[in-house]
């Protein structure tokens, strides 16, 4: 993992200096991850694609100002998270006159993935960034644009909910 982070930092440094090949490698490497992140936050593939595309425009413009090449991954996630937050705000305003739709009931909570999907989007994203993307608390905080204490709180709440979801499933199995 450290070699991967060092390589990403190297590519970010090269891209910051206008190396198009290095930037292309960053786009190739991070686009699927950012798309997955955006989809988890938005729940809609086309909106996620738009948010990621807008994020890459912002990343391109802001890259020369990036001070810490090693922070590229968290920085890119943060920009994507902000783009998603803007989209969510637009969606909320657009749906203000639409009656609430009940949340889907999950039939199968036998997997961790299904249990994570039951969490609030910000908790699910926090869990995925910390455990799946293996970001540090600091990196998750930067990516989600929240204080580290908020990340810790979200992780704690999400773990409790996951435990409850998964325990309930185990009890039903026997």
Q: Which segments of the chain does DSSP mark as H helices, in order?
A: 2-16, 20-42, 45-62, 72-94, 112-117, 121-127, 137-144, 148-173
CA 157 to CA 136: how far, in whole Å?
18
Nearest to 105 by CA among 113, 123, 117, 95: 117
> Domain total for the chain?
2
Question: Can you tell me the distance from the alpha carbon of 56 to that of 147, in angstroms, rounded to the nearest whole number?
Answer: 24
Instruction: Tell me the three state secondary structure of residue 134.
Output: coil
Neighbours of 161 (CB within 10 A): 18
Q: Which domain holds residue 134?
A: 106-174
Q: Last residue of some domain: 68, 84, 101? A: 101
63 lies in the same domain as 133: no
The residue ranges of the chain whose pLDDT is under 70 are 1-2, 92-111, 168-174
The predicted structure's pLDDT at residue 1: 60
Q: For residues 22 and 49, state if they share a domain.
A: yes
- Residues 145, 78: contact at Cβ < 8 Å? yes
Same domain for 64 and 46?
A: yes
Looking at the fold, whether 110 and 97 belong to one and the same domain comes out as no
Q: Are residues 96 and 111 in the same domain?
A: no
Q: What is the CATH number of the domain that holds 162?
A: 1.10.10.10
- pLDDT at position 93 is 67
CA dihedral in degrees (114, 128, 76, 47; nearest 10)?
10
Q: 71 and 131: one domain?
A: no
Residue 172: predicted pLDDT: 47
In a shared domain, residues 76 and 123: no
Final residue of a domain: which of 101, 121, 150? 101
Q: Around Cβ 20, how many Cβ atoms within 10 Å? A: 9
pLDDT of residue 131: 81
For residue 174, what pLDDT is reported?
Answer: 40
Asked if 84 and 134 sit in the same domain, the reply is: no
Is the domain of 162 the same as that of 113? Answer: yes
On whether both 110 and 75 belong to a single domain, the answer is: no
Residues 55, 132 within the same domain = no
Q: Pick from 73, 101, 129: which residue ends a domain? A: 101
Spatial contact of 133 and 142, defined as CB atoms under 8 Å apart: no
38 and 12 inside one domain: yes
CATH number at residue 8: 1.10.1740.10
């Amino acid at each position: 993992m450290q070699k991967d982070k060092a390589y990403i930092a190297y590519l970010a440094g090269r891209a910051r200096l206008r190396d198009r090949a290095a930037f292309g490698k960053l786009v190739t490497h991070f686009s699927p991850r950012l798309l997955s992140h955006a989809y988890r936050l938005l729940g809609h593939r086309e909106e996620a694609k738009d948010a990621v595309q807008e994020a890459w425009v912002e990343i391109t413009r802001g890259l020369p100002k990036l001070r810490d090449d090693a922070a590229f991954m968290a920085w890119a996630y943060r920009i994507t998270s902000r783009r998603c937050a803007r989209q969510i705000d637009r969606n909320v305003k657009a749906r203000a006159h639409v009656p609430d739709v009940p949340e889907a009931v999950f039939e199968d909570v036998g997997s961790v993935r299904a249990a994570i999907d039951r969490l609030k989007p910000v908790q699910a994203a926090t869990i995925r960034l910390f455990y799946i993307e293996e970001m540090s608390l600091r990196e998750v905080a930067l990516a989600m644009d929240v204080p580290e204490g908020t990340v810790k709180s979200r992780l704690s709440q999400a773990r409790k909910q996951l435990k409850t979801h998964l325990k309930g499933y185990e009890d039903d199995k026997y």
